[in-house]
Chains A and B, each alone.
Chain A
Amino acid sequence: MIKLQDVSVSFGKRTVLDNLSLDLTERRIAVIGANGSGKSTFARLLNGLALPTTGEVLVDQLNTRKKGRDVRRKVGFVFQNPDNQIVMPVVEEDLAFGMKNLGFSKADIASKTDEILARYNMSDLREHPAHLLSGGQKQLLAISGVLVMTPDIVVMDEPTTLLDLRNKRRVARAVAALDQMVITVTHDLDLIADYDRVIAIDEGRIFADGAPAEVIPAYERLMA
């Protein structure tokens, strides 16, 4: 569970997130909002990539300010652009990267790699150079690279923006099948229709927070 206590984030004079207090406990949480409303900043707070200017973020009691490394071990982060988060030249090497950093054994790395490649129908791509993958394959690899590290919580910042309809559905299915708590930042309102909770952010404040059936129509009215 993640707790935000009176969290504000400012860049210079500009306040991007304004005094948020939230308990995030649901299994599927979506964060929506206009461009520049502060969604990515919000997401980055949750694994300590960004620190609050004032207030605290606690992940299972760990303060992101002091326990950044432990928090990042618990909270996997999928970025919007897969190109910049695939860091190794070959598919299987990239999958191994995070696991190596966490000190997984060679045998463990090999079996987890097999398993995730099979799960996403990518077994043929094991030795494929990462830069030759299609956009959808890159996104799935980026997500896989995070999932093999078995995080307790997965935060995704617009994981489907680059994808065609088929790959969007693949990612949606992949996410639906996860046991972990998932927090998704997205503009894709179809993706989150069956989520447990939707938080709409507008200009750094919570504009609406609740079930998709209430929040999404309110958000659509705001955007109209």
Chain B
Amino acid sequence: MLDLYSPGGSLLHRLPPAAKMLAMMLGATLLFINQSLPLTVAATLVILALYPIAQLTLKQAFAQVRPLLIIFMLFFAVQWYFSGLELAAYVVLRLAALILLASLVTLTTKSSDMIDSMTRGLRYLQPLGVNPEKVSLAISLALRFIPVLAQITREVREAQKTRGLERSVIAVAMPLAIRAIKMADEISDAIDSRGYRS
């Protein structure tokens, strides 16, 4: 889901990020207000139709929801059991549609453009003590280092697997925490070294 920007020159790529984010929020709200399954199906199809328009493949669309498939199935089973098939389909489809919609924005918007426009929006909150530059650095750092942390987690897991410890939460969490703290130190040195004014 965090694999972000897919370069291209489509209409969706060229729309201003703020417009896309507003449209996404509006769409998401409508998805949640709407209670009917047929309308949800229609909305999902419309969102899917936007993928080729944005020079994206349906494979890319599927890649966005794939990491959540297990959770979807779990949701679906629980809802089916408690509330019936139709509601289960509605709930899960709505969630999938939401993710497809949000991904459409992230796939067609460079994170820097998104962060820039968010920073501009946050300027209005400056009187309340919000520092837009700091917030935007924090978001960038999160985008940058979540994949790195995921990679480190995999490495730690593999290392512990060879010792038969991969099921122990502590055996994975401890080395992970230590590496993350060391990493944070180094990152902060790197940011200092590159002229950042805190």
Contacts and interface: CB of A to CB of B under 8 A. Distances in A.
Contacts of A90: 5, 110-112
Interface stretch (A8-16, A52-60, A75-83, A169-177): A75-83
Contacts of B197: 69, 101
B193 A76 contact: yes
Contacts of B112: 88, 90, 92-93
A98 interface: yes
B190 A149 contact: no
Interface string A132-156: 0000000000000110010000000
B140 interface: yes
B111 A145 contact: no
B195 A98 contact: yes
A131 B148 contact: yes
B42 to A, nearest CB: 34
Top 8 nearest A-B pairs (CB, nearest first) are A85-B190, A101-B195, A98-B194, A84-B186, A131-B147, A89-B143, A77-B193, A89-B144
Contacts of B189: 44, 49, 79
Interface of A: 44, 47, 49, 69, 72-73, 76-77, 79, 81, 83-90, 92-93, 97-98, 101-102, 127, 129-131, 145-146, 149
Interface residues of B, number: 26
A118 B191 CA distance: 25
B145 to A, nearest CB: 9
A93 B190 contact: no
B190 A47 contact: no
A110 to B, nearest CB: 13
B177 to A, nearest CB: 16
Given A127-B110, A129-B4, A87 B193 contact: no
A124 to B, nearest CB: 11
B81 interface: no
Contact of A101 (B5, B141, B151, B194): B194
B192 A49 contact: yes
A208 to B, nearest CB: 29
Contacts of B141: 87
Nearest to B190: A85
10 contacts: A47-B193, A49-B189, A83-B183, A87-B140, A89-B143, A93-B112, A101-B194, A127-B5, A131-B151, A146-B194
A72 B143 contact: no
Contacts of A72: 192-193, 195
Contacts of B186: 79, 81, 84-85
A92 B112 CA distance: 10
A87 B195 contact: no
B105 to A, nearest CB: 16
B52 interface: no
A131 B148 CA distance: 7
Contacts of B195: 69, 72-73, 98, 101-102, 149
A53 to B, nearest CB: 18
B140 A89 contact: yes
A89 B189 CA distance: 18
Given A47-B193, A49-B193, A149-B194, A88 B147 contact: no
Interface in B141-158: 141, 143-144, 147-148, 151
Contacts of A69: 195, 197
Given A90-B5, A90-B110, A101-B194, A130 B144 contact: yes
Given A72-B195, A81-B186, A98-B194, A89 B148 contact: no
Contacts of A47: 193
A145 B3 contact: no
A129 to B, nearest CB: 6
Nearest to A83: B148
Nearest to A102: B195
Contacts of B147: 129, 131
